Copies of this chain bind each other. A is one copy, B any other.
Amino acid sequence: MDLWFTEQHTKDVCFSIRVEKQIHSEQSKYQRIDVFESKEFGRFLTIDGKMMLTEKDEFIYHEMIVHVPMAVNPGVKNVLVIGGGDGGTIRELTRYGTIEKIDLVEVDKRVLEVSRAYFPEVSEKLSDKRISFYFEDGLRFIREKENEYDLIIVDSTDPFGPGEGLFTKEFYGSCCNALKENGILVNQQECPYYADYSKFMKRAHQCMQEFFPVCRIYQAQIPSYPSGNWVFGFASKGLNPVSDLRDSEWNKLGLKTRYYNTDVHVGSFAIPNYIRDILADTTEQQEF
């Protein structure tokens, strides 16, 4: 038996994982959700045929989207997570006893239910008492919020389909209003190498720059994602992700992490020239 899951990273590049078996498949109201079992990456979750997470390397994405902002502002109390129904971002957030309240806004409840059924180690903290669940559109949810959150994490799918509104100027403006003075916004910004993805990185970065005085990107190496290199955005009203890093404070917490450490934190903000050039190039600037 020779069964392969293949994702087209571009129309001319494919990444394939040998599958032991498909263990779940459904068309939810919003998207197609599948779960597979594999030797190399363990169980993995795809949405509309695109890799969302694998048991083997999900720690990289989830640690980097959470611990980077938390090590810059350990005083975070109120958090908004948009997307992230699988629970991985929640799992990392709940390790901070200082966080008081987490609003999780996930448009598709079935992502949570599927993660609970098949990824117990990813979803285990979705039962944490500090979480309030909102199964609705993130763009609409955030419109009414003002000066409410210390941290917003946009843990979205790719900006094709339901995640599209989370890559618009309106959305980042609303995030800015919803954040307090010391607020930080972190989002996933796709892959910087292939042009089909990097155009979204560039668009997100340009939109965020309109609202936030501090606007940077940082990288993490995630083997199951296109090109293996992924970019996150970090925006704030003042806190600098490198010079305001509270490294000794974070290290004193004694959190055991498998990817993140405070050296990696600083290193992840060192951006290769070709990626800097994409972000600096304004020739394709347009209204979003």
**Bound CA span A11–B10, Å:** 23
Shortest Cβ distance from A219 into chain B, in angstroms?
7
A23 within 8 A of B: no
Q: Is A285 part of the binding interface, using a Cβ–Cβ cutoff of 8 Å? A: no
A162 CB-CB contact with B under 8 Å:
no
Q: How far is the CA of A39 from the CA of B196 in the complex (A)?
A: 14
Q: Is the CB of B267 within 8 A of A223?
A: no
Which of B223, B257, B261, B269 makes the CB contact (< 8 A) with A228?
B223
Kindly identify, within residues 254 to 288 of chain A, every residue whose CB is under 8 Å from any CB belonging to chain B: 257-261, 263-274, 277
Is A46 interfacial (CB 8 A cutoff)? no
Copies of this chain, whole number? 2
Among B4, B264, B272, point to the contact of A259 (Cβ < 8 A): B272
- Interface size, chain A (Cβ < 8 Å): 43
Indicate whether A112 reaches chain B with its CB closer than 8 angstroms.
no
Interface of chain A: mostly helix, strand, loop or mixed: mixed
Closest to A274 in B: B258
Q: Which residues of B contact A219 (CB under 8 A)?
A: 221
Is A1 interfacial (CB-CB < 8 Å)?
no
Q: Whole-angstrom distance between the alpha carbons of A262 and B6 in the complex?
A: 37
Contacts of A264 in B (CB 8 A): 270-273
A14-22, A85-93, A149-157: which lies at the interface: A14-22
Of the candidates B11, B221, B259, the one whose C-beta lies within 8 Å of that of A221 is B221
Closest to A60 in B: B272
A265-B277 Cα distance, complex, nearest whole Å: 18
Tell yes or no: A227 within 8 A of B by CB: yes
Would B271 and A259 count as touching, CB distance under 8 A?
Answer: no
Listed from nearest, the 6 A-B pairs whose CB atoms lie closest are: A228-B228, A267-B270, A267-B267, A12-B18, A263-B270, A223-B227
A-B contacts, 21 of them at CB < 8 A, read A10-B40, A11-B18, A12-B39, A13-B15, A13-B18, A14-B14, A14-B15, A15-B16, A16-B16, A40-B194, A57-B193, A223-B227, A227-B228, A228-B229, A258-B272, A258-B277, A261-B273, A263-B271, A264-B270, A266-B267, A267-B267
20 additional A-B residue pairs with CB within 8 Å, beyond A13-B15, A228-B228, A263-B271? A12-B17, A13-B40, A13-B41, A14-B16, A15-B15, A15-B16, A194-B223, A221-B228, A221-B272, A228-B229, A257-B273, A259-B273, A259-B274, A260-B272, A261-B270, A264-B272, A266-B270, A267-B267, A267-B269, A267-B270
